[in-house]
Amino acid sequence: MTDYLVYDVFTDRAFGGNPLAIIPSAQGLADADLQRIAREFNFSETTFVFPPVAGGDAKVRIFTPSAEIPFAGHPTIGTALALHNLGRVGTDMVLELGVGPIPVTITGIRARFVTKVPLQTWPGPSVEVVAASVGLGLDKIRADRHRPIIASVGLPFVLAEISTEDALSAIQTNTDAFRAFDSQWPTANHYDLFAYTRDGQTINARMFAPLDGIPEDPATGSASAALAAYLGQLEGVSATFQINQGVDMGRPSKIEAEVTVDGGTPVAIAISGEAVPVMEGRLVV
């Protein structure tokens, strides 16, 4: 039997934020079972912790219900806090992820990680495609500050600014529109969409990944990191953003995203947030 934990991430209370299943000692599991276990939990992500292989404190593999991915924000935050609470790491650690080593610092129930993976961008879908994907009129997709664009610091997302809070709340996804654009996706992943509104440094967001088995995600640190990096490059300055997500799902989440810009290029992204334990148990397979 293998122990597991469930943490709610990017929240300070149970049943908010984004739930994460964590297998803190996964070395006894068959590799072929990892995807099956993640599908059984059916959370946005499940993490499996292994002994380090590259000088860090732990190796972490991350699975969605449909695939292994190299990087994600709420799994990094939640797994770091879980390992700290188990007494296996101190307040400073390095987690070995698919994108390389990620340093994490713990303060109370809050974790902060830094990634220096370079920002990558590709041409995004048209305003028409985004509007069809989210069931909104063309006038609800903003293109004055930037047109929809695909951006990644480890995991790619379409970043699309929405005109109003009411429009953001009114989104109804059209999976057929996601499928239609997916053939043009530039990586092995699927078309995932991070829709947001912005008021200064405050961002309200929703993330949709129906082709990955995630109709909507309550909190997406990897998309927040990509957005912070892209806005830092677009505006040429370092900045800190407060990102609210999951509100329309009844799972409010708070993510802090910091971008450090040097010479017009984002050189580091920090994501921080809180997480709390809500369940524990054992796998019996």
Residues 216 and 149 in one domain: yes
Cβ neighbours of 210 (radius 10 Å): 20
- Which amino acids are annotated catalytic? 45
How many domains, in total, are found in the chain?
A: 2
Per-residue pLDDT of the chain (285 residues; tens, 9 = 90+): 799 999 999 999 999 999 999 999 999 999 999 999 999 999 999 999 999 999 999 999 999 999 999 999 999 999 999 999 999 999 999 999 999 999 999 999 999 999 999 999 999 999 999 999 999 999 999 999 999 999 999 999 999 999 999 999 999 999 999 999 999 999 988 999 999 999 999 999 999 999 999 999 999 999 999 999 999 999 999 999 999 999 999 999 999 999 999 999 999 999 999 999 999 999 998
Residues 255 and 155 in one domain: yes
**Whole-model pTM?**
0.97
Residues 269 and 279 in one domain: no
Q: Check residue 16 and give its pLDDT.
A: 97
Residue 231: give the domain boundaries.
Answer: 120-273
Residues 141 and 66 in one domain: no
d(CA 145, CA 138) in angstroms, rounded, equals: 15
DSSP-derived 3-state class of residue 158:
strand
Domain with 98 in it: what CATH number? 3.10.310.10
Nearest to 163 by CA among 177, 144, 149: 144
Contact residues for 50 (Cβ-Cβ < 8 A; gap 6+)? 26, 27, 58, 59, 60, 61
Residues 177 and 87 in one domain: no
CB 243 within 8 A of CB 74: no
Residues 263 and 131 in one domain: yes
